C-alpha cells in the first residue's frame, strides 16, 4: 500500500484540513457523549476497513489512525517504516441503543482474515496486523468470547489460529487528513487488501446482535473486494 500512497501524494488528492466525516457529516474528532462508546479495530489497510464500519447503521463517526505502539505522534511514513510498533486502525464511535458491540465484532472478524500474522493480503508488515484495542473494560469478556467462538468456526473449515492482538487501548493518533474516508474521495485509488475467510460469526456468550440480516446481506465476502463494489452510503434499515 505504501507505494500506492506515494503515487497518490504526487497527485495531491484532497489534502485540505478536514474534521467532518465525508459521508456521515459528523465530527471525526468528537468526544464521546452519553449513550456512545468507542473502540479501535485493526484489519489490515485502514482504507477499506473504515468503509466497512461507516456503512453500519448506528455508527456515529469513524476515523483512521495509528495505535498499539510506543512512538509518539507518528506519521504514515513512520508507521510504514516498521519501527513504531503501531498498527493501522479504525476508530469507531457508535450509539449503544442502535448497534451492539456484537455487531461491530461480527464486522471485524468477517471483513478480514485474522489468521494472517502481521499482514493482510498483499500488505505485509506489523502495521497491518489484526488487532482490537478496547476502551471500556466491560467489553473485554465479550471480545474474547467472540474470538473463542470464531476460532471454533475457523478450525471447522481448516483455518489456522487467530493472530489478533487484543488489549486495552493505550493511545490513538489520528492519521493524516488525506487518509480519512479515503475511499470516498473523488479520484482516489479504490484499493483494499483484505482477504476475508467467508466464515460467519455465530451467536456467542454475551452476544446481543441488533442489526438485522438485511444489513449483513449487503456484504458478500465471497466476492473479491466486495467492500469496493458497494456505494459509500450507510445502509438503511428496512
> C-alpha cell of 121?
493480503
Say which of 45, 52, 80, 226 is annotated catalytic. 45
For 86, which DSSP code? -
φ/ψ region of 47 (left if φ > 0, alpha if ψ in -120 to 50, else beta) reads alpha
Q: How far is CA 97 from CA 21, 58, 143, 195, 211, in A?
A: 21, 8, 18, 31, 11
Beta-strand pair 165-168/130-134: parallel
- DSSP class of 66: E
Measure the CA angle with vertex 202, ends 223 and 92; round to 5°: 70
Place of cell 484495542: 133
Active site residue 45: yes
Hey, which residues are catalytic here? 45
Amino acid at each position: 500500500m505504501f507505494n500506492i500512497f506515494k503515487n497518490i501524494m504526487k497527485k495531491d488528492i484532497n489534502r485540505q484540513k478536514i474534521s467532518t466525516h465525508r459521508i456521515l457529516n459528523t465530527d471525526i474528532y468528537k468526544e464521546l457523549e452519553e449513550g456512545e462508546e468507542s473502540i479501535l479495530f485493526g484489519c489490515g489497510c485502514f482504507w477499506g476497513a473504515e468503509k466497512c464500519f461507516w456503512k453500519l447503521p448506528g455508527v456515529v463517526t469513524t476515523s483512521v489512525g495509528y495505535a498499539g505502539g510506543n512512538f509518539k505522534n507518528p506519521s504514515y511514513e513512520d508507521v510504514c517504516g516498521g519501527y513504531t510498533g503501531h498498527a493501522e486502525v479504525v476508530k469507531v464511535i457508535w450509539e449503544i441503543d442502535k448497534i451492539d458491540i456484537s455487531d461491530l465484532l461480527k464486522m471485524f472478524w468477517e471483513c478480514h482474515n485474522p489468521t494472517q500474522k502481521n499482514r493482510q493480503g498483499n500488505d505485509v508488515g506489523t502495521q497491518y496486523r489484526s488487532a482490537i484495542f478496547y476502551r471500556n473494560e466491560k467489553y473485554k469478556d465479550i471480545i474474547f468470547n467472540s474470538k473463542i467462538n470464531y476460532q471454533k468456526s475457523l478450525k471447522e473449515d481448516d483455518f489456522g489460529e487467530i493472530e489478533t492482538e487484543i488489549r486495552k487501548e493505550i493511545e490513538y493518533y489520528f492519521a493524516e487528513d488525506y487518509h480519512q474516508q479515503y475511499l470516498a474521495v473523488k479520484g482516489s485509488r479504490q484499493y483494499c487488501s483484505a482477504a476475508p475467510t467467508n466464515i460467519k460469526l455465530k451467536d456467542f456468550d454475551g452476544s446481543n446482535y441488533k442489526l438485522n440480516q438485511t444489513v449483513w446481506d449487503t456484504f458478500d465476502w465471497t466476492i473479491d473486494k466486495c467492500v469496493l463494489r458497494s456505494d459509500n452510503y450507510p445502509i438503511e434499515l428496512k
